[in-house]
Copies of this chain bind each other. A is one copy, B any other.
């Protein structure tokens, strides 16, 4: 029932080789025969089997994408960037998650060994860098999308400007006349946390630092703690938008006005950032563009272009709204 290249060849009165040629190179084939073959192909609605082509060619025209979780707020943006780029190249995208822990790692590792895809894009799940390095060692082309600001010179990486982002937050607070910022960070062992803090400090050093998680709760706790401790601050730099949302909430609960009493700058520019009260000033992370760039890099590599040695950097952008 499913129609194959042999059916087309027979119907067109040529060999499979010829059909294959008009399908692929197009070269070396008589214009008239080519036209006839194309007609038959259209008439029969023939499409070459993905799997068969892959086996014969030794490549699958599919890339893998491996991420820690699909429910993180900015993950959809990254995926969409990758999906669009990959689709434009006629490739497919196999999606894997590490949410199942060791079972998930075993799954993706097996798929790598089985050559289910030609190359792999990865947002490195915690503690799985070694496994990723192994995959590369087994000949799988890998490009990293770096959300942590780690320095991984061994692998091609697309990153963003965490340091400059931090500096731009400080610059904004300075221009609005603030001099006594409170900085609320994510987990201090994250490279991006260190860079955001360092960048911020270059323009606006402060001793008021609260280390927490990347959560709304951390934002609330930090403000409650700062207020209870009578810390003196006229502004807040939150290391991400969730923290900033918690900050806004706690500030409102405490009767502080934003930005008059306290100015607030976040990081990420999640969709929710425009819906907080007041709308959030924040440092935009270009997640979609990072996805696109990483996919382009990997696709180029599969096409024969060697991967660049240095990491690619897509810049952050300060989005000014009402909170600072």
A-B contacts, 21 of them at CB < 8 A, read: A1-B139, A2-B115, A47-B110, A49-B55, A52-B55, A70-B77, A70-B83, A71-B80, A80-B97, A80-B99, A84-B99, A87-B107, A88-B100, A88-B103, A92-B94, A93-B95, A216-B275, A245-B275, A249-B275, A252-B277, A272-B275
For this chain, the copies found in one complex come to 2
Whether the Cβ atoms of A113 and B83 lie closer than 8 Å is no
The closest CB in chain B to the CB of A52 belongs to B55
Which of B49, B70, B73 is A79 in contact with, Cβ under 8 Å? Answer: B70
Q: Looking at the assembled complex, report how far the CB atom of A238 sits from the nearest CB atom of chain B, in whole angstroms.
A: 13
List B contacts of A48 (CB < 8 A): 114
Q: How far is the CA of A164 from the CA of B128 in the complex (A)?
A: 44
Which of B51, B103, B116, B242 is A92 in contact with, Cβ under 8 Å? Answer: B116
Q: Looking at the assembled complex, report how far the CB atom of A137 sits from the nearest CB atom of chain B, in whole angstroms.
A: 12
List B contacts of A51 (CB < 8 A): 51, 54-55, 60, 115-116
Which of B53, B100, B242 is A84 in contact with, Cβ under 8 Å? Answer: B100
Given contacts A53-B114, A70-B83, A80-B97, 15 further A-B contacts (CB under 8 A): A2-B139, A45-B113, A51-B115, A51-B116, A55-B55, A62-B94, A69-B76, A69-B80, A70-B80, A72-B76, A87-B96, A87-B104, A90-B107, A216-B275, A252-B277
**A positions within 8 Å CB-CB of B:** 1-2, 45, 47-55, 60, 62, 65, 69-73, 75-77, 79-80, 83-84, 87-88, 90, 92-97, 99-100, 103-104, 107, 110-111, 113-116, 139, 216, 242, 245-246, 249, 252, 271-272, 275, 277
